[in-house]
């Protein structure tokens, strides 16, 4: 309900104006309100300025990226990248970072577009990596999970969601995180 004195809108259950303290909701205030409505309106402060413009974002296309899109993104960042076909007929991407090959798998692709990717790198340790190291890593690092591959060598895996809502800027940030965490994994467990 508007205040009869200053025009401030108050909640219906309020008895007095929160701005000027005038009583609200009586017959007297109704008459005063009629007089006040004939008076010029109280000027309101200007609306706040809009937030400053941010740099444009580059959204991931609807449905995610194709394998070819992922190859182009990697190559655009200076990485080698090629689509390979595994023995089971599934296609994935082979690339290289920090001197080591890694794979990009694309689970759950629909109509050629992939809404997520899995970055996976494995290290040959010839049985010198034990489960306590995997457990230690997984309890300390939330972004990249370590596990054993089929021959008990350590692997590092990071899943990245691309769509809905993903941007190339976010993908670049998450890939930078993968590289940073990978460097820490290699250093911590002397995998060179």
125-182 pLDDT tens trace? 887 888 888 999 999 998 899 998 888 889 999 999 999 999 999 999 999 999 999 9
Query: Given the structure tokens 């300025």, which residue do they identify?
Result: 49
Look at residue 182 in the predicted model and tell me its pLDDT. Answer: 95
Note the pTM of the prediction, 2 decimals: 0.69
What is the rounded end-to-end Cα distance, in angstroms, of the chain? 73
Q: State the Cα–Cα distance between residues 14 and 175, nearest whole angstrom.
A: 55
Burial of 104 (0-12, 13-18, 19+ CB in 10 A): buried
**Mean pLDDT within 43-55:** 66
The per-residue pLDDT for range 58-102, each reduced to its tens digit, is: 999 999 999 999 999 999 999 999 999 999 999 999 999 999 999
Instruction: Please give the residue that has the higher pLDDT: either 179 or 8.
Output: 179
Look at residue 44 in the predicted model and tell me its pLDDT. Answer: 63
Look at residue 87 in the predicted model and tell me its pLDDT. Answer: 93
Look at residue 26 in the predicted model and tell me its pLDDT. Answer: 52
């Amino acid at each position: 309900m508007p205040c009869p004195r200053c025009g401030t809108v108050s909640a219906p259950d309020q008895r007095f104006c929160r701005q000027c303290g005038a009583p609200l909701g009586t017959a007297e205030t109704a008459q005063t309100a009629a007089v006040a409505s004939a008076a010029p309106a109280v000027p309101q402060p200007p609306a706040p300025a809009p937030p400053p413009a941010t740099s444009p974002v580059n959204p991931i296309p609807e449905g995610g990226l194709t394998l070819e899109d992922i190859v182009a993104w990697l190559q655009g960042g200076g990485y080698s990248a090629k689509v390979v076909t595994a023995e089971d007929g599934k296609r994935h991407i082979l690339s290289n970072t920090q001197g080591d090959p890694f794979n990009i798998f694309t689970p759950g692709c629909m109509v050629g577009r992939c809404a997520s990717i899995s970055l996976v790198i494995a290290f040959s340790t010839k049985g010198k990596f034990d489960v306590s190291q995997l457990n230690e890593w997984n309890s300390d690092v939330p972004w990249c999970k370590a596990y054993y591959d089929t021959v008990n060598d350590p692997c590092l895996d990071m899943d990245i969601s691309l769509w809905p809502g993903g941007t190339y800027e976010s993908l670049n940030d998450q890939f930078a995180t993968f590289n940073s965490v990978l460097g820490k994994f290699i250093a911590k467990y002397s995998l060179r």
